[in-house]
Structure 1
């Protein structure tokens, strides 16, 4: 795998981790925004599909 390919995958992994952290904050919130939580889940799934 090329260095550029590895960088692309690492960026995607970092982005998914950031999105998971946002989901965690939503879950722990006193007034959770479940619509945003679902949007994040869709973003995560889309990023996984791009890697394939």
Structure 2
């Protein structure tokens, strides 16, 4: 289990990665594993937000 500090850092890193990817279209150049990891994270967030509604 990750600590809350680690989770916060992870979220921040993903946000940074997402903004950079939008700007540079890096997503197409990333390795497949990183792409799937980002997609899984996005889906998890999407699901939890949908549950909250």
With normalisation by structure 1, the TM-score equals 0.49
Q: Which has the higher contact order (CA 8 A, sep 6+)?
A: 1
With normalisation by structure 2, the TM-score equals 0.48
